[in-house]
Chains A and B, each alone.
Chain A
Amino acid sequence: MKEFQETLYDSIAQCFRIDKMYFEHKTEHQHLMIFHNAFLGRVMTLDGIVQTTEKDEFIYHEMMAHVPILAHGHARRVLIIGGGDGAMLREVSRHRAIESIVMVEIDAEVIEMAKQHLPRHSAGAFTDPRLQLVISDGMEFVRGAESGQFDVIISDSTDPIGPGEVLFSEDFYGQCKRILAPGGVMATQNGVPFFQLDELIQTRERMGRHFADQSFYSAAVPTYYGGIMAFGWGSDDPGLRQVDEQTLQQRFREAGLETRYYTPQIHRASFALPAWVQDALDGYGQ
């Protein structure tokens, strides 16, 4: 029996049975696999870490796309950093009112590989005429991008230890702030606080230097082991985090979305953080 054992933590590891290997790419610098697991469907791993699975990806992608877009209310221009598997694009594309989607992925091969071996992730979204696909380093892209051109930025990065590290840098958050239009918002993948509390605090510090309102919202994604995962939130408009349920309901209806995890109630509730997380962010209880 073949198994995949995650390598994130020294004293604990989750283990998945590999029922069929669809794709494996290994070089001296990285090891990427897409395999089938009886319960999870297709699973993609990179360097010993689960990236996404067919069974639970909807939670992650719905929450990272719909929360900032519906909070914003009239987002027209969206930037996705990373997300080569295409699922973030799929969720963003479902908003008909959005006029342009720029997606910046560092590795063209990842996209091709995902189209072929994880087709349900993008579900055809790469053909969306509103999409402008840029193959580039995310950091370089935001540095070179014109100011004030995006309403929503979604950073769908990998683990901060590894190639995605710059997407957790203060410079990155600063550049994102610069290229957001007034009233814009950015949302980021920020790991599982139960194991990565230091990374949460770091984002509070780094992102907090650039945005008047910095916070986190959360969702439990089962295969990101460790309880709730945190999404970073940065905006100059504190009101975006407080949009009332009725307004969200209305926007949700107007967008015509069908979701499996996201609801306006979940949206509101996801900004409530457990006391131990809030305390750590406030500088207590460390």
Chain B
Amino acid sequence: MSGEAGYRPGPRPVRYGASPEERQFYESLVAEHGSPLLVVRRSRIEAQYRLLQRQLPGVALYYAIKALPHASVIETLAALGCHFDVASEGELELLRPLRISGRRTIHTHPVKKPEHIKAALRGGSTTFVVDNLEEMNKLLPFRHRIGVLLRVSFRGDSVAVDLSRKFGCAPEQVPELARAATAQGIHIRGLSFHVGSQSARPDSHVAAVEQCASLIAAVNADNDNPMSTLDIGGGFPVDYDGQGLDADRWFRPLREALQRLPEDLSVIAEPGRFLVAPAVTAIATVTGRARRGDCQWYYLDDGVYGSYSGQLFDHMRYPLQVFNDDPQRQPSVLAGPTCDSIDIIAEDVPMPELGEGDLVIGHMMGAYTAATSTRFNSLNAARIITID
């Protein structure tokens, strides 16, 4: 994933202190399950899902499994009626043991090996996203079974993670691709876009919805197998900066744009981050300390090769919390457990004195954290536990 010029993470919020209940809560989890931990809260996933449903009424939600490919998350969302965006065979395989039908999925990776297509069909996933003719040709042998969404590229200027650079055809290409598909007997079921992740403003989504609406109208005007679906992707933001995020303010323009669409167009979305980021808390433990120059170093048992990998790949800064509320603080470094010097969670953060065994809490850590963590140095990934 690549950072986009228009977005910079804000200053990292750090909370000092905790209520006795809070402290007891984290400490007992570590006592029971060890450290490092990622704590998934089902109730928070449910709250985010309901919030998104309220903000985007009538939109079928397909959770982008890639954000946090974990069974308890998928199970929780499935029970709420959520659908799933799968982008690989592995993601589809997560659904099978949970008895989630392939009919509740769409396959969104625009580039596929032929065996992936077969595996997807075998898993019951029959809607595929493509963005060019060569990929469409791979679907030809299966054309009687499938539906195709054409991915269109609209680059947002307020997104943290650009996803329209690598994938998506230019809007101008849509009519021509739709014609070519029809000529080959492939049905283009609709258009999809993904303006990018953690989109600070809804403008890009709104503009993309409007452009897609006119593209669909234009194509449908001279095609007797009309497009019927608009997939507005993901990208809905969460509050990493602790500034408060007014969901109603963010979603209202998008909701209004969707209300202007023709009634027979089905709208679907692929939220990842929005559903899971606030639902997961990371717990790490201080395992060592050192004084280097003017700086106090604390070494934790989780870092950027682990749960904090999102700081590298996803360009996010997670709000941190320590329990010591001593106002005496000094510039500190929070470093991860690997031997690599890039493995630093935070530099120059004011920290009170921390001792070995103290806990460092990372908030908002559900999306693109565990999903991208590595096994570098043969360290075990943080254990994921689910509560509520």
Contacts and interface: CB of A to CB of B under 8 A. Distances in A.
A244 interface: no
A243 B355 CA distance: 92
B142 A7 contact: no
Interface stretch (B17-25, B95-103, B174-182, B360-368): B95-103
B219 interface: no
B147 A11 contact: yes
A162 B121 CA distance: 8
A5 B147 contact: no
Contacts of A30: 96
Interface string B102-136: 11000000000000001001111111000000000
B322 interface: no
Contact of A48 (B103, B144, B146): B103
B118 A26 contact: no
Interface in A135-179: 161-162, 165
B93 interface: yes
Contacts of A47: 122-124
Given A10-B127, A48-B101, A161 B144 contact: no
A55 interface: no
Contacts of B101: 5, 7, 48
Interface residues of A, number: 22
A269 interface: no
B127 A161 contact: no
B41 interface: no
Contact of A9 (B99, B145, B189): B145
B44 interface: no
Nearest to A24: B99
Given A7-B102, A48-B101, A195 B96 contact: no
Nearest to A7: B124
A31 interface: yes
Contacts of A212: none
Given A48-B101, A161-B118, 7 more contacts: A7-B102, A8-B126, A30-B96, A31-B96, A47-B123, A48-B124, A198-B141
Interface of B: 93, 96-97, 99, 101-103, 118, 121-127, 141-147, 187, 189
Interface of A: 5, 7-11, 13, 26-31, 47-48, 161-162, 165, 195-198
9 contacts: A7-B125, A8-B145, A9-B145, A10-B146, A10-B187, A28-B97, A48-B102, A48-B123, A161-B142
